[in-house]
Structure 1
């Protein structure tokens, strides 16, 4: 009986681990897709990272000044 319970707990732990890994993969995929859309929307695909960061900082600055 005890071994059966431990086996079920172990199986549930394995399922939880798999779901956590899947969640992490899906979040990474979503972030990648959102990033691509952001770059495309603002025509930043071919810009250097420094220019993209400056653009984002400017957006943050504008948002803070309108709150």
Structure 2
């Protein structure tokens, strides 16, 4: 997989997990609230996807 493919995969994972009920607050200032059924791996994957997705969007001129 290329870096862009990886970033897209992480971004998709981030969006999927976000729809499951993660709330980050404005500008990421608020403490994270994780759905109770999430494992630590879910949290790690979400943070990885969130950070990668943010960097990816910055590269594209977003956010």
User: Is the TM-score greater than 0.5?
Assistant: no
Judging by fraction of residues, say which structure has more helix.
1
TM range (shorter): 0.3 to 0.5
Taking structure 1 as the reference length, the TM-score comes to 0.37
Structure of higher CA gyration radius: 1
Taking structure 2 as the reference length, the TM-score comes to 0.39
Higher RCO, Cα 8 Å, sep 6+: 2
